[in-house]
A and B are shown apart, each in its own frame.
Chain A
């Protein structure tokens, strides 16, 4: 591997430890003075409500698609499991019968 590739590999982006974003937001919430923090909270509630109305369709669609996709994935795994078990059983029976003859 050449040096450029080695450097790209060695310096690839890494994820921070889990919960980093939450800790940042917690630090942000700790930072402002009490009255500002209160204002932040009310603004957050109002903005969240507005965000839900405006972006609700987009978010709901994504959530619905994810649910549907995960359900489909689980069904694929279940179906292949069942089909595989039945085929395998039949193959085993055929093999057993053949070996008895």
Chain B
């Protein structure tokens, strides 16, 4: 499976996938799997659940390929559907995010960060209310600003900013207490 390396290549893969090319669709999945999986994983702190959400998202993508307008729309669509599925599923099942101790660590790309601190921060994020948690993840995993986040979660930008502010305040307070 050849990696997609340019926007033009994504465009081509989308065209081919719409015509039923399984390899092209698989390439699109490979290109975006980290983003989708991570959004779900950081929301649930559960690898199995994140994979389940990821599969649902891509199945839905496959059924809706005709409505995807291009590479940028694809990325936006994936973020939006993943966020929506995460929050919907959590509310339907009334599950709480699984504490980090129970879950095995997922391998991260090598970075010069403190893995123990990362773990602690993720634990605190897991205890945030679901919408705050998702907005925080979109902000710091995907590097989206509030005006972009509001289009993903379909909320007014001031509501997004308010959620983000409260999430950061809560984390600062909790980290300061530790």
Contact = CB atoms under 8 A, between A and B. Distances in A.
Query: For chain A, what secondary structure do more than half of its interface residues adopt (helix, strand, loop), or is it mixed?
Result: helix
B24 interface: yes
Interface stretch (A21-29, A68-76, A79-87, A93-101): A21-29
> Which of the listed residues A1, A9, A23 has the most CB atoms from chain B within 10 Å of its own CB?
A9
A44 B139 CA distance: 38
Contact of A29 (B22, B42, B58, B109): B22
Contacts, number: 136
A58 to B, nearest CB: 9
Nearest to B35: A13
A11 B108 contact: no
Contacts of A6: 117-118, 121, 175
B51 interface: yes
Contacts of A43: 19-21
Contacts of B21: 43-44, 47-48, 51
A22 B20 CA distance: 16
B26 interface: yes
Contacts of B117: 1, 6, 9-10
Contacts of B37: 14-16, 20
A25 B139 CA distance: 29
Contacts of A28: 22, 25, 58-59, 62
B118 A9 contact: yes
Contact of A16 (B34, B118, B139, B141): B34
A62 interface: yes
B168 interface: yes
B55 interface: yes
Interface string A17-52: 100111111011101000000011011101110010
Interface string B34-59: 11011001100001001100110011
B137 A11 contact: yes
A9 B20 contact: no
Given A3-B175, A14-B106, A24 B38 contact: no
Contacts of B30: 21
B88 interface: no
Given A11-B42, A27-B59, A59-B2, A40 B125 contact: no
11 contacts: A3-B171, A7-B140, A8-B140, A13-B141, A15-B107, A15-B109, A20-B51, A21-B26, A23-B55, A24-B55, A40-B22
